[in-house]
Structure 1
Amino acid sequence: MCLSVNAKIWLPSILSDHMVLQQQSEATIWGWTTQSAETITITTTWTDSIYTTKAYQGKWSLKVPTPKAGGPYIIAVKGHETVILKDVLIGEVWFCSGQSNMEWSPLKGLENAEQEINAAHYPKIRFFTVNKKKAAYKQDDTNGDWEVCMPETMKNFSSVAYFFGRELYTKLGVPVGLINSSWGGTPVEPWIEKEIIESDPDLKRSAEQITDQVWWPRDPGTTYNSMVHPFLNFTIAGTIWYQGESNRGIANSYYKSFPLLIKTWRNAWHNDFPFYFVQIAPFKYGDSKTNREAAFIRDAQLNTLKTVSNTGMVVTNDIGDLNNIHPTNKQDVGKRLALWALAKTYGVKEIDYSGPVYKGHQIRGSRILVSFDYAEKLTAGERTISSFEIAGNDKVFYPAKAEIKGNKVQVWSKEVPNPVSVRFGFTNDALPDLFNESGLPASAFRTDNWKSN
C-alpha cells in the first residue's frame, strides 16, 4: 500500500496491501507515528478482538494472533488517523535469499519460459521483491511492494522462489507469501552482521581477501543491514537459500561462515526456523586454479547439512550446465526445495526429499565400501557409475572404478593398493551419475579432511 510521504501514521513496506501473514502465529504489526506517545488500535476482519498499544518516541508495535490459512482480510490501524490494509491473506511465508541463481527471473533465462509465464495465474501466491541496496548501518525499512502472482509479476520474480512456492501451494492448498531478498554475485559475508564477522579473526581475514566488484557488495553486513534486518519483525515459516559460487576463492572459510549465517539469522528472528539451501551446480570456471574450489564449497554445504539442525540441502549436479553458471532448469530446483519443506516442515508423508548422502565407509583390503543415507537402492542412471577417486597415505587421488552393491558402492583402483580415502564428484565440473530410486542425485562428498587439493 502506497502512503503519502506526509502520512502521520505509517508502516514498513512489508506490511501493505496483498501481503501474506504467517498462519497460526503471533504476527507483529508495527510502525511509526509523528505523535510520540499516541495510542494505536488495530482491528482485523478475522476476529472481533481489538488490540491496543502506545507509541514510544514515535514507534509502536504489537502482536496479533493469526488464524488458520484463509482470507482475504482487512486490517485497520487507527490512531489520530486510520491506515487500512486490504486483500491480506493468511498462509505460509518464506524468505528467499542468496545470489544470482536465487535472483534470476524467467526473463533472464528459464526453460519453457513463455509457457511457464503464461501459466502463472495463482492469485493466492504473493511476491515481495526487496530492492537491491547496501547499507553501512541497520535499516528499519526498505522499498518494496507485495504483488499478486500473475504472468506480469511472475516473469520478473525469482524463478526458484516461484517454483518452490507453487509446489507448496499446489500440495498444501494454502496461500503462500514469498519474500525475494537476493543479489547476484554476493558472497556470504555481506549477509552476516559486520560485528560478527569482525569478531572472528579467521572470517575477518577471509572477508578481506574477497575481490572488489563494481556490481555487488563484498563488505560484511552491507546487505544484512538493508535487505534482512528490515524484516526481522515479520514472522516467517522458514528460509530458502541459493548461494556459494562467490566464496570459491575462500572456500575453507565457508565451513564456518555458512553455518554462522544460519545461526545468526535464527538468533535475529528469535526463531529456529527451517533453512533449506541449494548445493551449487557444476560449472567450468574460467578462473579456476585447481578445479576443486567449488567442490570444497559443496563439501562445506554438505557439512552444514550434517551439523546444523533443521536444515535441508538440494543437490543439483544432474541439472546444471557446465557452460552456464545460471542453469535454466529452475523448476526442479524449486521443486526439490519444496520436497524438503513438505516432508520436514509440513509433515507430508511418503515423500522422498533427499538424494543419497554419504553415511560411512569401510576399508576392505584394496577396496572401500561406501554407505549412504536416503538410499534404499542406488542406481547409476543410463551411464556407467563414475566420478569416484581414491587415495592412499600420499594424499594423491586417482580415478577409481565403482560398483553398486544394493545401497552401497564399492570403489577401487589398481593405482592405490592401500586406499585410505575416497571422494565422489569432487571437482568444479563433475557430473556424477549416482541416484536413489526416486531419481534424486547423490551429493558430492569426501571422507578425508585434508586441506590440500
Structure 2
Amino acid sequence: MVFCGLASSAEAVTLPAIIGPHMVLQRNAEVTIWGWGKTGEEITVTGSWDNQPVKTKADNQARWEVKLKTSAAAGPHTLTVKGYNTLVLEDVLLGEVWLCSGQSNMEWSASAGIDNAAQHVAEANFPAIRFFQVAHRTADTPQLDLPGQWVVCTPKTMKDFSAVGYFFGREIHQKMKVPVGLINSSWGGTPAETWLSSQAISASPVLAQAAAARKEVPWGPVQPGKAYHAMIAPLTSFRLAGALWYQGESNTDAPEVYAQLLPALIQNWRTQWKQDFPFYFVQIAPFNYGSPEERVRLGEAQLKTLQVPNTGMAVINDLGNPDDIHPRNKLDVGKRLAAWALNKTYGQKDVLFSGPLYNGQMKVEGNKIRLFFDHADQGLVIKGKELTHFEIAGEDKNFVPATAKISGSTIVVSANGVKKPVAVRLAWSNTAVPNLYNKAGHPASSFRTDSWTR
C-alpha cells in the first residue's frame, strides 16, 4: 500500500483491514468500498479495471462508502482511494469471494494435522488464491473493523489456514479458472449462538432460552453475539459469492434447538449482508459422543436446514473417525462443498453434488417398506457386499436390524419378525458409518422416517 500527500494523520483517509493489497473483490458485481476520513472530506475511489472514478464525502460520523462495478477481468489491478491523502492498493484481483466459518473443523489447518499434509503444503503455490485470516476476538456490540491482512496462497501461508477452506478454494479456482478469495472467521469449540447477532438470538424465545442455559467454557465464547460482533459484523459490507459453514459439534447437547438455530443464523447473515448468498454447510461426522443419539439428531437438524432456499449440505459420514472429533481427511470435505458451489452457484450441471437424500416418501408393501430418494436418478451403489445399518420397526416402535436391497433408485427394507412395518432408520447412531452411495460417489445421509421420541 502506497501512502502519499501532505495531510496530517488526523485527516488521513483510512480503510478497514478487509480492504487492502492482495485482496480479491467479487467479480461482475457491485462492491462496496468504505472507510473513514475527515468530516466533509471529498473521497475519490478508482479501480484500474475500468478507471471510472467514483466520488463521495465523509459524513458527520467520519465514515464514507462508494459502490464500484467490477468486471470479469481478473487482474492484477490497483484500487486508488484519494482524499487529503492518497492510498494505492496494489495486486488486487477480481474473482470469487467466500466466507469460511464455524468451529474447530473449519479452523483446522495442515499444521494441525491432515491426511497427506506435507504433499498438500508443498503443492500450495496458487498466486490467484488469497487468504484473509480473522483473529479470535469478542465484543459486546458490532464492531467496525478487525485485525488482519490479505496474503497470497503459498506453502507458508496455506499451512496455517483453514484446510477445508483451502481445498474448497483450490477446487473452485482450478475448475472455474478464476481468482478465489477466502476469508476464514472460525473459532474452535464455539456454539452457533455466539455467531449470530445478540439481537437475532433475543428475537426468538426458544433461542434466547437455550443460549441463556449455556455454561462458560475455557476455550472460547458461548454468549450470543460475542464472536459475531467482533469477527463477522465488520465484514458485512464486503461482497461475497457465498458462505461455508462447518460447525455443530458444540451444539449436540440441544439438537432440537439447532433445527431453528442454523436457519436463524443463515437469515441473520443474509440480512446483515443484504444479500441472499449461497450457504453451504457440512453435516458433522460420526463421533462417539456421550449420549447415544446426539450426533445423529444434530445431523438431522442440519438435514432439515436444506429446506432453507439456496443452501447445500456436504455429507461426510464416511470420512469421520469415531474416536477423533477432528477427521483428518479435509480434502474430500472441501471438494464436496465445492461440488455444491460448482453446480448450484456456478451452473456446472454436469457436476454431481449430493449423495442420496431420503425425500420423505415411503410405501409399505406387505411386510416391506420401499424408500424413495433424491439424487439417486443414476442409481444407487453399495460399498461392500450388502447394505448395512438399516433398521425397521412395527407399531411397537422396536427397531431391529433389517435387510435392505437396492431396487432401481429406491431401497426395499424388511426384517424377519416384522410383519407390519411402519418405520425405517439408516445409521441412526453416533458412530454408524453407512455404505450407501450414489454413482457419483457421494454417501447417503443418515435419516429416519419416524418422529418418535424413543
TM over 0.5: yes
Paired residues for 1:357-396 under 5 Å? 357-359=357-359, 360-375=361-376, 376-396=378-398
What is aligned with 1:325?
Answer: 325
User: Is 1:199 aligned to residue 199 of structure 2?
Assistant: no
Q: Which consecutive residues of structure 1, in runs of 5 or more, have no partner in the other structure?
A: none
Letter in 2 for 1:55: A
CA distance in 2, matches of 1:372, 1:364: 17
C-alpha distance in 2 between matches for 1:15 and 1:8 = 16
Q: Which amino acid aligns with 2:32?
A: T
What's the CA shift string for 1:388-417, capped at 9, x where partnerless? 122233333222221111211111223433
Mean Cα deviation higher: 391-400 or 134-143 = 391-400
Alignment-derived partner of residue 154 in structure 2: 150
CA distance in 2, matches of 1:263, 1:10: 31
Q: State how far apart, in whole Å, the 2-side matches of 1:416 and 1:5 are.
A: 80
1:39 to 25, 34, 42: 42
CA distance in 2, matches of 1:49, 1:261: 37
- What is the deviation of 1:284? 1.2
Rounded to whole Å, the distance in 2 between the matches of 1:11 and 1:255 is 38
Q: CA deviation at 1:48?
A: 2.6
Native 8 Å contact 1:398 1:415 kept in 2: no
Check conservation: 1:98, 1:182, Cα contact below 8 A: yes
TM-superposed deviation, 1:218? 0.7
2:341 corresponds to: 341
Runs of 4+ in 1 over 4 A off after TM superposition: 1-7
Q: Secondary structure of the equivalent of 1:368?
A: strand
Alignment of 1:195-234 (within 5 A): 195-234=199-238
> Is the aligned partner of 1:407 residue 2:398?
no
Secondary structure in 2 matching 1:224: helix
- Partner secondary structure for residue 249 of structure 1: coil
Q: Which residue, out of 55, 58, 76, partners 2:58?
A: 55
Mapped to 1, the partners of 2:439 and 2:277 lie a distance apart of: 29
Partner in structure 1 of residue 352 of structure 2: 352
Q: Offset of 1:423 from its aligned partner?
A: 1.1
| Contact 1:73-1:86 at 8 Å conserved across structures | yes
Structure 1 letter corresponding to 2:48: T
CA distance in 2 between counterparts of 1:128 and 1:394 reads: 55
Deviation per CA, 1:127-186: give whole Å up to 9, x if none.
001001111110011001100000000000000000000000000000000000111111
Distance of 1:418 and 1:212 partners within structure 2: 48
1:44-75 deviation line (CA, Å, top 9, x unaligned): 21113111001102110010110104111111
The one-letter code sitting in structure 1 at the alignment partner of 2:34 is W
- Tell me, yes or no, if the aligned pair for 2:129 and 2:153 is still in contact at 8 Å: yes
Between the aligned residues of both structures, percent identity stands at 49
CA contact (8 A) 1:69 1:175 kept: no
Q: Which residue of 2 aligns with 1:123?
A: 127
- Cα 1:2–1:428 change in 2 (3 A) is farther
Q: Distance in 2 between matches of 1:5 and 1:218?
A: 38
Give the alignment partner of residue 78 of structure 1, picking from 77, 82, 107.
Answer: 82
Give 1:140's match in structure 2, choosing from 144, 165, 170: 144
The amino acid across from 2:239 in the alignment is T
Q: Are 2:38 and 1:16 equivalent residues in the alignment? A: no
* CA distance 1:86–1:7, shift in 2 (3 Å): farther
The alpha-carbon distance between structure 1 residues 394 and 204, as it changes in their structure 2 partners (threshold 3 A), is farther
Distance of 1:154 and 1:7 partners within structure 2: 37
For 2:231 and 2:51, locate their aligned partners in 1 and report how far apart those are by CA, in whole Å.
35
Q: Secondary structure at the match of 1:70?
A: coil
Aligned to 1:303, what secondary structure does the other structure show?
A: helix
CA positional deviation for 1:26: 0.9
What does 1:282-301 correspond to in 2, within 5 Å? 282-285=286-289, 288-289=290-291, 291-301=292-302
Measured after TM superposition, the shift of residue 6 of structure 1 is: 6.3
Match of 2:270 in 1: 266
SS at structure 1 position matched to 2:421: coil
Equivalent-residue separation in structure 2 for 1:56 and 1:275 (angstroms): 34
RMSD, aligned α-carbons: 1.5
User: Deviations for 1:293-331, whole angstroms, at most 9, x for unmatched residues?
Assistant: 1101111111111x1111111000111111111111000
> For residues 207 and 393 of structure 1, do their structure 2 counterparts lie closer, same or farther at Cα, with a shift above 3 Å needed?
farther
* Deviation of 1:383 (Å): 4.1
- Asked if the contact 1:209–1:250 (Cα under 8 Å) also holds between the matched residues in 2, the reply is no
Q: Does 1:164 align with 2:168?
A: yes
**Structure-2 separation of matches of 1:217 and 1:12:** 24
TM-score by length of 1: 0.96
Offset of residue 5 of structure 1: 7.9
Alpha-carbon distance in structure 2 between the residues aligned to 1:83 and 1:279: 43
Return the letter of the residue paired with 2:367.
S
Report 1:428-447 matches (<5 A): 428-447=430-449
Provide the TM-score with structure 2 as the length reference: 0.96
Counterpart-to-counterpart distance in 1, 2:269 and 2:14:
26
Quick one: which amino acid aligns to residue 334 of structure 2? G
Output the CA distance in 1 between the equivalents of 2:2 and 2:332. Answer: 36
Residues 105 and 157 in structure 1, CA contact (< 8 A), matched pair in contact too: yes
- 1:426 matched to which residue of 2? 428
Query: Do the aligned residues in 2 keep the contact of 1:69 with 1:174 (CA within 8 Å)?
Result: no
Q: 1:5 to 1:319 in 2, by over 3 A?
A: farther
Instruction: Provide the rounded CA distance (Å) in 1 between the counterparts of 2:58 and 2:90.
Output: 23
* Stretch deviating more after TM superposition (365-374 or 176-185): 365-374
